[in-house]
Amino acid sequence: MALKLVRDAPTVWNYLNGLVNLYKPAGVTVQQVQNTIIHNLCRDLNQLEVRPSLQRVVIGNAGESKLVVRKVEDLSDNVLVTGPRYQPEDIKCRFSANHGRFTSGVIVLGINNGTKLAFRLQQNRPLRVYRVTGFLGKATETHFANSRVTARATIDHIGSEKIGRLLASIQASHQRKMFELSGIDIQSQAAYELACRGTIRPADNRVPMIYGIRLAEYRKPFFTVEIHAINETEAYLGELVHEIGINLKSCAHCTGVRCIRHGHFLLEDSLLKKDWNLQNIVSGMAHTNKLINQHPDMLQQHSSSLQEMEVVPLVNK
């Protein structure tokens, strides 16, 4: 089918409903991202061919006791009076995850009718994957690099093997915690049958749960861990890096958090800030609709078990 260039703003507006995969930069809040998206959409929509001003009926005297009925422009509906046709209040937005200021990477935004899909995606709690970078030897007040240093320690005794063993123990403890939250004895037959079905979600969406954690890179004093988690927050990931430093008989703080996957939404498909315009957002919605049709479990999970996803190589941005 041949592509057709559309210059009519109302037609484009009808297609502006759905989810879009964005790349959130570090150092900005999700509210700032939302304001930027809304501003760019209003700017681009108003540059298209918007609807003309409304017409009003005027009855005038044409002389010789004759009346003439004609239509004239209603000046109260002129854009010079009312302002641009598309205003920021016209666009509804909702994020499916509440990333912190220092978190970068994949974030899914619902626009207009897509806010309902964003809510369903948030309630379904798909698995998120992070690359978290820490700095060994220094501890800070907030566990992040932008706060005051509170402690220093040596790191000569720390190697990649030691970090790997610690991360394996953290993953095992969270797997045990998963069975404890389900209220099932880990030595029972019910626990065995539950484990055969795969990892499960906790009933309480306020409890962070780590399903996998491994060392991705170690360049002393920096180390990067890959974390597969549910119900996590930026503060929790910072505390986790701090605890890793303490368990290594040293100290550490977090220097970067990047979300590389949210369910089936991947890093390489996310829109960079320079691409946050009307054309790319509508195209991104079309790609997202195909993704949802291929994986309807992202919006409605039929089982408490997590769905297995194909591991894809990381693309740096």
Average pLDDT, the chain: 87
Count the neighbouring beta carbons within 10 Å of the beta carbon of residue 70. Answer: 10
- Quick one: pLDDT at residue 269? 93
Any idea which residue has 């700095």 for tokens? Answer: 135
* Residues forming beta bridges with residue 140, ordered by sequence position: 149
For residue 93, what are its two tokens? 């937005």
Closest C-alpha to 291, from 315, 271, 272, 266: 266
170-174, 176-180, 251-255: range with highest mean pLDDT = 251-255
Which percentage of the chain shows pLDDT scores above 90? 62
How buried is residue 76: exposed, middle or buried, by Cβ count under 10 Å (0-12/13-18/19+)?
A: exposed
Query: Across residues 157-170, what is the average pLDDT?
Result: 94
Q: pLDDT digits over 37-88, tens only?
A: 999 999 999 999 888 888 888 887 776 777 888 888 888 888 888 889 999 9
Q: pLDDT digits over 174-192, tens only?
A: 888 877 776 677 778 877 7
- Quick one: pLDDT at residue 1? 39
Give residue limits of the domains in the chain. 9-45+73-126+265-302, 127-262
How confident is residue 303, by pLDDT bands cut at 50, 70 and 90?
low
State which fold the 127-262 domain adopts. Pseudouridine synthase (3.30.2350)
Least confident range of 67-76, 155-164, 267-276, 294-303: 294-303
* Residues forming beta bridges with residue 154, ordered by sequence position: none
User: Which residues are within 8 A (CB) of 267 and not within 5 positions of it... i.e. 6 or more apart?
Assistant: 23, 105, 106, 259, 260, 261, 314, 315, 317
Cis ω before 126 (30° cut-off from 0): no
Q: Is the pLDDT of residue 312 over 50?
A: no
Query: Across residues 287-303, what is the average pLDDT?
Result: 83
Please state the pTM of the whole predicted model.
Answer: 0.84
Q: pLDDT digits over 94-143, tens only?
A: 999 989 999 999 999 999 999 999 999 998 888 999 999 999 999 999 99
